[in-house]
């Protein structure tokens, strides 16, 4: 008599939509791939093109070489791509002085923040940047203006410590990948301390960051556990994990690949939320669902909170017909 097969426990999976790649990430990856087709390998990329190791390794296999600084790029005519997070102004100046073929993959929504900061500075305002110290995007934004012209704040406590008088002409801009709620706390503190402070006409936090956080908020209080697909160095992915925790789901984990799953966090759960950061490809979501499906009988439901149809054109250098 054959043994009765062990039935897998049922797991209701709620997939967030939208999730995964945003328009800025798609454009950045497309830029590297178009450059490889047009100019051939190698194509140099300053910093990770997006914060996802899987994506970076895939581009390396196609002929991209990732460097930290331009002094690692040889003067051999090979193109160099600036990452989606943006770079300080000194970087393209150096590239031009060396006659490097520079291609800027900065997300247009990050470029918008750069332009805002420059306008405020030209109008004589002190510029405050709300963001995370050391993040690539923050370094790029602060590098748009002379050293010391931008003051970084990360919390309401940082705002309280600002030395400017209440009547000082002042403006703020923000990193595009912050937690919407955290950002609002800091902005509220700025507006309370500096009632005349100037801000962006439209929120600097990008549409994709906002939409992905809203989708997580919709699901987090309904599930026993949450998996955010993304890299540990991805700011927007880290924020999604935090949003899940703050909105009622204590078992939230950020994983890049299926091998990173902490299975102890899924013991005894009946429902699971799944999303992906803006730099995480859908293939990794599928890989993780396949891994979970080996241990559970999955019932998958997609929860859609917004529809995205944003796209950004390639730089002019790459718009010509690719051979």
* β-pair partners for 15: 274, 302
Distance between alpha carbon 172 and the CA centroid of its chain, in Å?
20
Question: Distance (Å, rounded) from C-alpha 60 to C-alpha 10?
Answer: 39
In the block, tokens 């300080």 appear at 88
Question: Distance (Å, rounded) from C-alpha 84 to C-alpha 59?
Answer: 14
Question: Distance (Å, rounded) from C-alpha 136 to C-alpha 177?
Answer: 11
Q: Which of 137, 214, 218, 242 is catalytic?
A: 137
- CA-wise closest residue to 56 among 81, 37, 89, 77: 81
User: What's the chain's length in residues?
Assistant: 323
For residue 31, the 8-state DSSP code is H
Query: Is 192 known to be catalytic?
Result: no
**Cβ atoms within 10 A of the Cβ of 215, count?**
24
Widest distance between CA atoms in the chain: 86
Distance between alpha carbon 151 and the CA centroid of its chain, in Å?
22
To 10 degrees, the CA torsion angle through 99, 105, 108, 109?
-120
Distance between alpha carbon 60 and the CA centroid of its chain, in Å?
20
Catalytic residues: 137
């Amino acid at each position: 008599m054959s043994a009765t097969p062990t039935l897998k426990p049922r797991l209701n999976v709620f997939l967030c939509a939208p999730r995964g790649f945003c328009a800025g990430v798609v454009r950045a990856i497309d830029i590297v791939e178009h450059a490889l087709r047009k100019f051939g390998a190698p194509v140099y990329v300053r910093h990770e093109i997006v914060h996802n190791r899987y994506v970076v390794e895939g581009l390396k296999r196609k002929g991209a070489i990732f460097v930290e600084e331009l002094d690692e790029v040889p003067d051999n005519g090979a193109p160099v791509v600036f990452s989606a997070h943006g770079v300080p102004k000194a970087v393209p100046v150096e590239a031009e002085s060396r006659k490097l073929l520079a291609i800027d993959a900065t997300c247009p929504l990050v470029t918008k923040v750069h332009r805002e900061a420059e306008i405020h500075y030209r109008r004589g305002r002190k510029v405050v940047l709300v963001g995370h110290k050391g993040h690539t995007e923050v370094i790029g934004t602060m590098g748009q203006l002379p050293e010391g012209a931008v003051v970084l704040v990360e919390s309401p406590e940082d705002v309280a410590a600002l030395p400017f008088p209440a009547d000082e002409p002042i403006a703020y801009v923000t990193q595009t990948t912050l937690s919407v709620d955290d950002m609002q706390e800091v902005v509220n503190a700025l507006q309370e301390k500096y009632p005349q402070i100037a801000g962006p006409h439209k929120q600097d936090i990008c549409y994709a960051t906002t939409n992905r956080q809203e989708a997580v908020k919709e699901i987090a209080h309904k599930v026993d556990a949450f998996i955010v697909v993304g890299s540990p160095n991805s700011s927007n992915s880290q924020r999604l994990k935090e949003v899940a925790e703050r909105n009622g789901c204590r078992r939230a984990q950020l994983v890049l690949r299926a091998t990173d799953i902490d299975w102890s966090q899924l013991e005894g759960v009946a429902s699971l939320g799944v999303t992906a950061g803006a730099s995480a490809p859908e293939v990794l979501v599928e890989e993780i669902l396949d891994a979970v499906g080996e241990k559970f009988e999955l019932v998958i439901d997609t929860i859609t909170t917004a529809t995205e149809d944003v796209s950004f054109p390639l730089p002019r250098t790459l718009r010509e017909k690719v051979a």
